[in-house]
Amino acid sequence: MTEFNRIFLRPGKDKPVLQRHPWIFSGAIAGVEDGTADGAIVSVCDRSGAHLGYGYFNGRSRISVRMLSFGDRAVDGALIRERLLSAIEKRKRTGVTVTTNAFRAVFGEGDFLPGLIVDSYDEHLVIQILTLGIERMRETVIGLLEDVYSPHSMYERSDHAGRSIEGLAGRSGQIIGNTPEEIIIRENGLRFIVNVRRGQKTGFFIDQRDNRSLIARISRGRSVLNLFSYTGGFSVAALAGGALEAVSVDVSAPAIQMAERNALLNGLGDRSRGVHADAFEYLRGEDIPYDLIIIDPPAFAKNRESVAAACRGYKELNLQTIKKCRPGALVLTCSCSRFIDMDLFQKVVFGAAADAGRAVSILHTGHHPADHPVSIFCPETAYLKSLLLQVD
């Protein structure tokens, strides 16, 4: 068996590892053997030197080790292949691949491959490598993805800002084959145009699939306002569900244009309207004569230090919406900030409702769908939360 450099944990800091939590923070580490390179696989040991498992190390990151295996299971190509095959089976067993051809194929810690994100758009893979440890295994990972998935193409979108924490520059580009400039995906009978090269995240908000289905079920006969609409996923779902109209508001003009194209693609363009505007300014300056309002902003909290400012932003959006909407209106309000959990998000919305002086009920709570699994050992990776409200 290959010999790996060792890191040693402080007394009492081995408990999370024994409970299979994949993150080891810098403060838990008592020592690192000389010559241990950032990005290298290490043997994680307790204070006495007893081996606990293997992970990859990066001394410049607050999360200094991300575990890949526990006990004596070797970290090699066979392990990665096993994890990829397991990820495929999860998507099949939960029915994700029946309702859509656009899904998250690998979700980091949720598929026990921390630092790796893979999305599949009609069998074109888009990968994000977020950590130095996975970067060091990049060629192995790419080869295994090609072997396991046999994709039409593979494109890299490793341009996430978090790579800088790992000491990595951003990178995007073609890896295998020729990824089309635009891919048309299907989701619950609807079609959407996706640009994986220039779109946000990897091109589409895959994680809102369940909420789009919810909106389609409750939109019949309602007028709909879709704030932070991006390429109009919620708007198209609402119109397909029988909405009288859907107004898409986004600060990006190209996103609004794509939202209009998606409405036309589904034969719904006559009831769709795009507004190029900042959602905060739009709410402050406009009445809200709509029956159903969707608030799906980007992640305001990128780290723990920005949580307070993010909460102020979420409160302002919800306050203006709740204060101005008509009696009986429904509001789907969302947060994709990992550092704001459901309890805190609900408290923020409670504060907005209290300040607005309106009676508000929670009708439904939501999370990300089955292709974004959360390891029970690492609940911190759950990030998307939503509340469906009725405002009286």
Q: Does the annotation mark 336 as catalytic?
A: yes
The beta-strand segments (E) located in the chain are 6-9, 23-25, 29-32, 41-45, 51-57, 63-70, 102-107, 116-121, 124-129, 153-158, 171-176, 183-187, 190-194, 223-227, 245-250, 272-276, 292-295, 329-335, 360-367, 385-391
Cα–Cα distance for residue pair 367/375, rounded to 1 Å: 14
The CA-based diameter of the chain, rounded to the nearest angstrom, is 70
Catalytic residue of the set 311, 325, 334, 336: 336
Question: Mind telling me the catalytic residues?
Answer: 336
